[in-house]
Chain A
Amino acid sequence: MPTLTIDGKQVTVEPGTTVIQAAEKLGIFVPRYCYHPGLTIAGNCRICLVEVEKAPKLQIACNTPCADGMVVHTQSSKVNQGRASVLEFLLINHPLDCPVCDQSGECDLQNFYMQYGLYDARFQEQKQKKPKAVPLGPTVMLDAERCVLCSRCTRFTDEITRTGELGIFNRGDKAEVGLYPGKTLDNKYSGNVVDICPVGALTDRDFRFKARVWYLSSAPSICTGCSQGCNIDVHYVIDRPHLAEGARIMRLKPRYNPDVNKWWMCDEGRYGYKFVDENRIRQVSHRGQAVSWEDAYSSLAASLARFKSDGRLNEIGILPSAQQTNEELFLVRKLFKEGLGIKNCDIQVPSPAGTSDGFLIKPDKNPNTMGAALIGFPGASKPLKSTNGSSASGHIFDKALSGEIRALWVFGHDLVKLFGEEKVKALAASLELFVFQGSNDNGTARYAHWVLPSAVFAENDGTFVNVSGWVQRIKPCFAPLADSLPDAQVLLELARRIGISLSFKSAEEVFNALAAEMPAFGGLTYERIGLQGARVHQKEPAAR
């Protein structure tokens, strides 16, 4: 294995490692435009120049394999001069649109210019004009003038999605990125080209002009779009309510996780964050009347206690959801299943399989099906095929329809969408107690007797287990909207009032109890899960 010296530090690397990777291992950042660890090496931008002793010229770090005894300097004056010249070259035809460019603030042209460029412009001629503000597809906008022709985007569509929409056309200073004739950039991962474009040539149409990037705060989280659980950063703004009509989330960006999503995420997840700020349930309500949480707690606790004292616990049905965190599901189990002894408590709903592909997108659109199955809701991984409305099937919803179940507590599911409006309407008329606890308004919320607003993932703390058994953490980015509360908080308060002792003060404490009790989670803590997740001990074969 070759051992080389970079900036005076020694490092031993696998044969075939390039200098840029070896430098990364030492924590030395070499600037780059065309190099991306997830793509093949192009070596065309030349900004990663380094000085290798005994080599006649500066070498590009991204395509120079490490050799034994190599001595590399990444910060010498020769290197800096080389990089400044490369930047001067790249900026010759650059429009300097920074004021109107969405990349401004996270642009590598700006960053590297401030670090290495800092020259006075010498270019006197007319700059090349190229297409501006051209939509390439539903998600991406191209500004060919800003492009540095690094070819990351074309390599992405060639190598990762293999859809080949993008190419570089013409030659010399007329070369520009564009679509092949008859194509549009509308593959399921198109948003990723915006992330990998090191400059503002490709910008996000959804994010376009909504905010400046320096207004954004960021919190690590997990995409709840499907059971893959891609790692994301939530970019949000809470102190400028005039932006984007008061929405808090401005965009989602994939976060690197070698085991789950690498550098990527799908468009469905990327643009599927709107529900966080739109169509939310803002108030606790009882039969259409706004009430306080206090009223809801005392009334619901009393109802549950009455069912219990009358010995009618098997007339209660609870429908948790695989959209809930492990912590919430654990509390559902502790409160309803074990605390009260309710048997009809499982995720028994049809879950229509969505689209999927062999890459990231999974057919199961719930982020925590695996977790739910592991915590004791086996129905999560065996969705109902159909319901016939007779209690013979033994399913909770059928039992409710046939009158066997008199109280129904639904977490998040839209029964109207799943079973049809007529049935839910009839159910609402016949049930004694019908509670909907969810974040967004839907048909079920219209019919339920009690509507309890829940926090969404960006307002919640907890963990999900993805389809391949990775326990991953979501962290709260901002406070729950209006009156909504995390389900865990509501369940704990209810438990206290019913007299079931569940004394947890945070999601972390719930998780520790969960890890102590469930062998699959044994030994895991939030600290061990960290930002990259940790695997559960057993793999549930039934998980889709």
Chain B
Amino acid sequence: MQIKKRELTFWEKIYLPEIFRGVWITSVHFFRNLAIHTAHRFGLLKNVRAGVTFQYPENPRPLFPRLRTRHRLTVREEGTPRCVGCMLCETVCPAKCITIVAGEHPDPNVEKYPVRFDIDLGVCVYCGYCVEVCPEDAIRMDTEILDVAAYSRAEMKLDMHELMNPQLRKPVKECTLKFPHKCAIHGGELRGDWRFVYGKNPEQIREEGWKEIQELSGKEH
């Protein structure tokens, strides 16, 4: 197929009249909407529709439940992530914006958990593959948070604190995670202790986990 370019007329070629025509069209819509919206305020002209807009941010648009919004990591009762550090999301992510370092969980029934989990929202394409691939329902995009803009690339990177608590956004001042993790707030050093989570040291947790297994395996079914 060939696209034929339309020849410009003389009036179009001299440019200025077209500019004024554009300004005229915009102004007509502006003043028309201004007048009709004002009239609507006073309960007049209700049957005439004005241009549709939302008064964001006071008046946010309703979101559809399946809309993909800022990520979160789901949390177990005791405040550890449900994530088992399987790295499937890191693997599937087409933007390669997930960074996971896995560690040993003292409970043999859990085994593995993430010591570090970052998502770089500056790179993320919001495809939702990470949510779909997760075998543990550990990552979701249902926070309904859309405004993830920031002033620097570094701020666009969500670490575990912000992912486990969607209320948080950089700068996060205080580390609230109790389990051992590579704390982004403290320059990536290993922070936290299992004792703060379970009130027992890892050896005890391990022993109890094994005992639990033994009891279950002894049971006749």
Does chain B have a CB within 8 A of A25?
A: no
Chain B, residues 50-67, CB within 8 Å of chain A (1/0): the string is 000000000000000000
User: At the interface, yes or no: B210 with Cβ under 8 Å from chain A?
Assistant: yes
If A126-B221, A132-B111 touch, does A99 touch B103 (CB 8 Å cutoff)? no
A100–B217 touching, CB < 8 Å: no
Q: Which of B85, B99, B116, B213 contacts A132 (CB 8 A)?
A: B213
B99 touches A129 (CB 8 A): no
Q: Is the CB of A134 within 8 A of B210?
A: yes
In the complex, whether B75 has a CB less than 8 A from a CB of chain A is: no
Q: Which residues of B contact A212 (CB under 8 A)?
A: 86-87, 91
- A209 interface contact, C-beta 8 A: yes
Per-residue interface assignment for chain B, residues 29 to 70, with 1 indicating a CB less than 8 Å from any chain A CB and 0 otherwise? 000000000000000000000000000000000000000000
B87, B108, B135, B136: which has the most chain A beta carbons within 10 Å? B87
Question: Which residues, 177 to 212 on B, are CB-close (under 8 Å) to A?
Answer: 206, 209-210
Q: How many contacts between A and B, using CB within 8 angstroms? A: 60
**Which of chain B's residues has its CB closest to A208's CB?**
B104
Inter-subunit contact A242/B136 (CB<8 Å) = no
Decide: A132 and B217 in contact? CB cutoff 8 A: no
Asked if B210 and A131 sit within 8 Å, CB to CB, the answer is yes
A99 touches B135 (CB 8 A): yes
Task: Report the minimal beta-carbon distance from B163 to chain A, rounded to whole angstroms.
Answer: 16
1/0 per residue, CB under 8 A from B, across A120-158: the answer is 000001101111111000000000000000000000000
Please determine whether B217 and A209 come into contact, CB atoms closer than 8 angstroms. Answer: no
**Minimum CB distance partner of B212 in chain A:** A129
Is B158 interfacial (CB-CB < 8 Å)? no
Partner of B86, one of A100, A126, A174: A100
**Which of A131, A214, A215, A242 makes the CB contact (< 8 A) with B116?**
A242
Q: Inside 8 A of B85's CB, which chain A residues have their CB?
A: 100, 209
A130 touches B112 (CB 8 A): no
Q: Assess whether B109 is interfacial by the CB under 8 Å rule.
A: yes
Among B86, B101, B108, the residue within 8 A (CB) of A99 is: B86
Whether B130 sits at the interface, judged by CB under 8 Å, is no
Question: Is residue B216 contacting chain A, with contact meaning CB distance below 8 A?
Answer: yes
A129 B216 Cβ-Cβ under 8 A: yes
Given known A99-B88, A100-B112, A134-B210, contact A174–B217 (CB-CB < 8 A): yes
Beyond A99-B135, A243-B101, is A209–B112 a contact (Cβ under 8 Å)? yes
Question: With contacts A100-B86, A125-B221, A174-B217 known, is A132 near B108, CB below 8 A?
Answer: yes
Q: Which residues of B contact A131 (CB under 8 A)?
A: 108, 210, 213-214
Indicate whether B73 reaches chain A with its CB closer than 8 angstroms.
no
Chain A contact residues: helix, strand, loop or mixed? loop
Closest to B210 in A: A131
A99-B84, A100-B86, A126-B221 known; A133 and B91 CB under 8 Å? no
Contact string against B for A residues 99-135, beta-carbon threshold 8 Å, 1 for contact and 0 otherwise: 1100010000000000000000000011011111110
Report the minimum CB–CB distance from B76 to chain A (whole Å).
15
Q: How far is the CA of A97 from the CA of B110 in the complex (A)?
A: 10
B75-118 with Cβ < 8 A to chain A: 84-88, 91, 99-104, 108-112, 116
What residues of chain B lie closer than 8 Å to A242, measured between beta carbons?
99-101, 116
Whether B210 pairs with A128 at a CB distance below 8 angstroms is no
User: Which residue on A lies nearest to B109, using beta carbons?
Assistant: A132
Contacts of B110 in A (CB 8 A): 100
Whether A209 contacts B88 by the Cβ 8 Å rule is no
Q: Considering the chains assembled together, what is the distance between the CA atoms of A98 and B210 in angstroms?
A: 20
Q: Is the CB of A100 within 8 A of B84?
A: yes
For B86, the chain A residues whose CB sits under 8 A away are 98-100, 104, 212
Q: How far is the CA of A62 from the CA of B109 in the complex (A)?
A: 36
Contacts of B216 in A (CB 8 A): 129
A130 touches B213 (CB 8 A): yes
Instruction: Find out whether the CB atom of B91 lies under 8 angstroms from the CB atom of A214.
Output: yes
Q: How far is the CA of A212 from the CA of B85 in the complex (A)?
A: 10
A242 CA to B98 CA, complexed, in Å: 11
Give A503-536 interface residues, CB cut-off 8 Å to B.
Answer: none
Q: Which residue of A lies closest to B83 (CB)?
A: A99
Q: Chain A nearest CB: distance from B64 CB in Å?
A: 30
A100 touches B111 (CB 8 A): yes
Q: Is A209 in contact with B103, judged by CB distance below 8 angstroms?
A: yes
Are B112 and A129 in touch, CB under 8 angstroms? no
Q: Which residues of A contact B135 (CB under 8 A)?
A: 98-99
Which of chain A's residues has its CB closest to B188's CB? A242
- Expressed in whole angstroms, the Cα–Cα distance for A99 and B99 within the complex equals 16
- Contact between A209 and B104 (Cβ–Cβ < 8 Å)? yes
Q: A212 to B88, alpha carbons, bound, how many Å? A: 9
Asked if B136 and A128 make an inter-chain contact with CB atoms under 8 angstroms apart, the answer reads no
Give Cα A129 to B110, complex, Å: 14
- What distance in Å separates the Cβ of B176 from its nearest Cβ neighbour in chain A? 23
Most buried by B among A100, A208, A243: A100
Q: Considering only CB atoms, which chain B residue lies closest to A126 in the complex?
A: B221
Contact B102 A209 (CB under 8 A): yes
- A243 → B minimal CB distance (Å): 7
Contacts of B213 in A (CB 8 A): 129-132
Complex Cα gap A98–B136 (Å): 11
Q: Is the CB of A129 within 8 A of B221?
A: no
Residue of B nearest to A102 (CB): B112
Within 8 A of B (CB), among A202-224: 208-210, 212, 214-215
Rounded to whole angstroms, the CA-CA distance of A214 and B209 in the bound complex is 30
- A106 CB to closest chain B CB, in angstroms? 15
B129–chain A nearest beta-carbon distance, Å: 16
Instruction: Determine the distance from Cα of A402 to Cα of B56 in the docked complex, in whole angstroms.
Output: 86
Q: A209 CA to B103 CA in the complex, in Å?
A: 6
13 sampled A-B residue pairs with Cβ under 8 A: A97-B111, A98-B135, A99-B88, A99-B112, A99-B135, A133-B206, A134-B210, A174-B217, A210-B102, A215-B87, A215-B91, A242-B99, A242-B100
Please give me the 5 A-B residue pairs with the lowest Cβ-Cβ distance, nearest first.
Answer: A99-B86, A133-B108, A129-B216, A129-B217, A100-B112
* Beyond A99-B135, A100-B86, A212-B91, 15 extra complex contacts between A and B, CB < 8 Å: A99-B112, A100-B85, A104-B86, A126-B221, A128-B217, A131-B213, A132-B108, A132-B209, A132-B213, A133-B206, A134-B108, A134-B210, A214-B91, A242-B99, A242-B116
